[in-house]
Amino acid sequence: MPSIRLLAAALASARANYTLPRLHPRAPLSYREQELRYAQHHMYVDVKHKLLYCAVPKVACTEFMRLFFRLKGENQNQRWKGDPHFRQDKPLFNKIMNVTTATALMNDPTWTKFAFWRDPAERLLSAYLDKFANGKRYSTGSYAVRIFKDKHMNFSGFVDRIASKNRVRGKPDGLHPNTNPHWRPQRFMCNMEKFLPAYNFVGSFDHLGDHAEKLLRALGLWEAYGAAGWTKALKRTVVDKIKGAVGGGDDGGRMFQKNAAWHQTTKMKPENHDLYTPELLAKVRRAYAMDYEMFDAVGFGGDEPASGANWGDAKYAGRQTMGGFDRAFKDDHGVRAWS
């Protein structure tokens, strides 16, 4: 059995030697005006470092948003450490790009496009605990009242609403491209269903610190932007060096050092959480079948990051083109399903 020191060295070596995968040759992907508008505040771009990021709520997006402000030049004044969500100067894709430049960027192999995904059942539970069960800590109140107008809503009732069929665009029920972003299928975020073949890095929430370090090391950005400065220096134990304590030396402060441990204790796997009965968990997994299909198609869910390369295979090509980014608003015959 290898020693802890040897295991830590092997993990560090794997992170240091990781390289971004090459994507398969494919037909160009073209943006439409409505697709660019739909991206809204979920796509971040850094022109200097040629980075495009799809921010998926409840998948550590706050920290990655801070990273983009740090890359933008706020490394010295520390402003990047604040709450990034309501800043007016966010480097958003649809503000910086038009249809022509967005199309060129998405097809440019010198740009890195990345996203991080999370098990849909786990992500839904996280959204409920944050926005419903603990909603009183927000000035706008619980989402049960704010969105669903039901102050008595529990987790089972929430699942019933999001798993229901909904053909009225203004209602919060169901899962579709206009669903609240905190539990919207990840397949729809940033028009991922169409543009996933252009993404050469898809990291996992289960390996947050490790995958973030691999990405930044592959881009040559880890030492300057990821290895230090994120938190106060913390004393690292031997266990820390194995469980998510990646990079940054013993002085601490690396990206996700502070909240990687927090995520590990609060993400609570659905199979083990009191709010999930086996029947309720099965219902959620059926409702998010479109996400699980996408995960399986690109080989997401292992120890290593994935890419969108296999999403371009013929098996999935029809789903990408049928109705374009509006696919969920049409039935199996391509007829618009919304009233």
Of 73-82, 188-197, 212-221, the poorest mean pLDDT is in 73-82
3-class DSSP state for residue 53?
strand
What token pair was written down for 133?
């069960």
Q: Please give the model's pTM, rounded to 2 decimal places.
A: 0.84
For residue 182, is it within any domain?
Answer: yes
**Which is higher by pLDDT, 16 or 20?**
20
What's the confidence (pLDDT) of residue 86? Answer: 78
pLDDT at 225 over 50: yes
What's the confidence (pLDDT) of residue 77? Answer: 64
What's the confidence (pLDDT) of residue 322? Answer: 37
For residue 18, is it within any domain?
Answer: no
Q: What are phi and psi of 203, to 5 degrees?
A: -90, 165
CA-to-CA distance for 172 and 160, rounded, in angstroms?
Answer: 12
- Tens of pLDDT, residue by residue over 75-113, are 666 777 777 887 888 888 988 999 999 999 999 999 999
For residue 14, is it within any domain?
Answer: no
Give the range of the structural domain holding residue 127, as residue numbers without chain letter.
26-331
CA-to-CA distance for 296 and 196, rounded, in angstroms?
Answer: 13
Total number of residues shown for the chain: 339
What's the confidence (pLDDT) of residue 83? Answer: 78
For residue 13, is it within any domain?
Answer: no
CA-to-CA distance for 204 and 209, rounded, in angstroms?
Answer: 9
Of 49-63, 157-171, 180-194, the poorest mean pLDDT is in 157-171
Count up the domains in the chain and report the number.
1
Q: Degrees (nearest 5) of the Cα angle 241, 246, 249?
A: 80
- Tens of pLDDT, residue by residue over 263-316, are 554 546 888 889 999 999 999 999 999 999 999 999 999 999 999 999 977 666
For residue 58, is it within any domain?
Answer: yes
pLDDT at 123 over 80: yes
pLDDT at 141 over 80: no
pLDDT at 7 over 90: no
Confidence of residue 251 (pLDDT cuts 50, 70, 90): very low
CA-to-CA distance for 149 and 216, rounded, in angstroms?
Answer: 43
